[in-house]
């Protein structure tokens, strides 16, 4: 990753949809700075893990070993300085974080060296490793570097403002800024899959959660079908 990039960079500004006290909120999307990383990390652990279907139904929050391991993983990813935050002014002196998208650079032929001990972590890593084995995005599309999403979340007070769409759209801006021309993300819920499709993401690989369990009982995620039926790896290329 180039160390010569402008950082932090504001990628764009926009208005929300709702009217509050006679006016619409102003938002902007920018790089997450060092002083924001702890807040984002805590929101990932306390809110994103609770809302992501795979994390929720694998009961990550009930597995203290996995929780500690995942906190370290996301902390390391945040240090890559690729994470986007959506911010808004609550008054003249105070800025509020309204949403975020944790991002990480994936490099061809570089494998992760995680050795998880938590039961939930081991199961999720097994599932993701198997899914990734079904297709090599780097090889198929001939990209050495790909931007991968590791969690998008909009805080409850700011929902209904289309922030999720705008944060996903901002991924193109940071990719171009750092010289990456493709993004690939596992979208685990029907809601996030529809959101991604609205902003131009296409399916790379999809599989029913139920089918995962039939392929290998060790990849069965109890009750996840009550929330969403399909796991999708989705991509977008920035020419």
Residues pairing with 104 in the sheet? 148
- CA–CA dist 149, 142 (Å, integer): 19
Spelled out in words, what is the top-level CATH class assigned to the domain 10-237?
alpha beta
Which range among 100-104, 113-117, 167-171, 203-207 shows the weakest confidence by mean pLDDT?
113-117
pLDDT at 64: 98
pLDDT at 2 over 60: no
**How many helices (H) does the chain have, and how many strands (E)?**
9, 8
Band of pLDDT at residue 105, cut at 50, 70 and 90: very high
- The pair of three-digit structure tokens given for residue 147, joined into one six-digit string: 């931007």
pLDDT at 185 over 60: yes
- Find all residues with CB under 8 Å of 170, minimum gap 6, and list them: 11, 12, 29, 84, 101
Q: What is the DSSP string of 116-145?
A: --SHHHHHHHHHHHHHHHT--HHHHHT-SE
Question: What is the phi-psi region of residue 106: left when phi exceeds 0, alpha when psi lies from -120 to 50, beta otherwise?
Answer: beta
- Find all residues with CB under 8 Å of 46, minimum gap 6, and list them: none
pLDDT at 1: 52
- CA–CA dist 35, 98 (Å, integer): 15
- The pair of three-digit structure tokens given for residue 114, joined into one six-digit string: 């995680």
- CA–CA dist 67, 47 (Å, integer): 13
The separation between the first and the last C-alpha atoms of the chain, rounded to the nearest angstrom, is: 19
pTM value is 0.96
pLDDT at 92 over 90: no
- The residue-averaged pLDDT of 220-226 equals 97
Q: What is the pLDDT of residues 3-19, one digit of tens each?
A: 689 999 999 999 999 99
| Cβ atoms within 10 Å of 199's Cβ, excluding its own | 16
Band of pLDDT at residue 91, cut at 50, 70 and 90: confident
Domain ranges of the chain: 10-237
pLDDT at 98 over 60: yes
- The pair of three-digit structure tokens given for residue 38, joined into one six-digit string: 């702890």
- Find all residues with CB under 8 Å of 154, minimum gap 6, and list them: 86, 98, 99, 161, 163, 164, 167
Q: What is the pLDDT of residues 123-176, one digit of tens each?
A: 999 999 999 999 999 999 999 999 999 999 999 999 999 999 999 999 999 999
pLDDT at 112: 84
Q: CA angle, corner 149, sides to 144 and 151, nearest 5?
A: 160
């Amino acid at each position: 990753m180039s160390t010569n990039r402008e950082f932090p960079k504001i990628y764009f500004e926009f208005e929300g949809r709702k009217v509050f006290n006679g006016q619409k909120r102003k938002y902007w999307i920018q790089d997450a700075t060092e002083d924001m990383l702890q807040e984002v990390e805590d929101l990932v652990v306390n809110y994103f893990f609770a809302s992501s279907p795979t994390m929720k139904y694998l009961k990550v929050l009930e597995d203290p070993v996995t929780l500690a391991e995942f906190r370290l993983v996301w902390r390391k990813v945040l240090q890559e300085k690729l994470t986007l935050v959506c911010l808004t002014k609550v008054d003249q002196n105070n800025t509020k974080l309204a949403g975020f998208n944790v991002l990480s650079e994936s490099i061809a032929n570089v494998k992760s060296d995680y050795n998880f001990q938590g039961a939930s972590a081991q199961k999720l890593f097994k599932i993701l490793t198997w899914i990734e084995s079904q297709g090599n995005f780097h090889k198929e599309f001939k990209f050495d570097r790909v931007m991968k999403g590791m969690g998008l979340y909009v805080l409850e007070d700011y929902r209904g403002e289309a922030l999720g769409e705008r944060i996903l759209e901002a991924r193109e801006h940071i990719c171009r800024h750092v010289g990456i021309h493709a993004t690939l993300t596992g979208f685990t819920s029907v809601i996030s899959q529809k959101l991604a499709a609205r902003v131009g993401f296409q399916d790379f690989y999809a599989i029913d959660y139920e089918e995962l369990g039939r392929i290998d009982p060790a990849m069965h995620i109890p009750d996840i079908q009550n929330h969403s039926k399909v796991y999708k790896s989705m991509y977008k290329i920035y020419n």
